[in-house]
């Protein structure tokens, strides 16, 4: 039972760190290019709209 709990903890940790690193990378790239916080915040919305077209 202890082994399963360790595996679950490792899985959640890996998943959380993986998604944080991708999100942080995009935010850093957009900020370095001079985008404002509002534009960075709205950028995922633009991606969703363009994938529907």
* Domain ranges within the chain, ordered by starting residue: 2-52
Cα 38 to Cα 27: distance, rounded to the nearest angstrom: 12
Residue 43 belongs to what H/E stretch? helix 37-52
Cα 8 to Cα 13: distance, rounded to the nearest angstrom: 9
Predicted confidence at residue 33, as pLDDT, reads 93
The predicted model scores a pTM of: 0.46
Predicted confidence at residue 53, as pLDDT, reads 63
Encode pLDDT of 21-35 as tens digits.
666 777 888 889 999
């Amino acid at each position: 039972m202890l082994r399963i709990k360790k595996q679950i903890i490792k899985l959640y940790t890996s998943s959380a760190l993986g998604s944080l690193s991708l999100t942080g990378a995009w935010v850093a790239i957009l900020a370095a290019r001079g985008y404002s916080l509002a534009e960075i915040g709205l950028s995922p919305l633009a991606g969703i709209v363009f994938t529907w077209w």
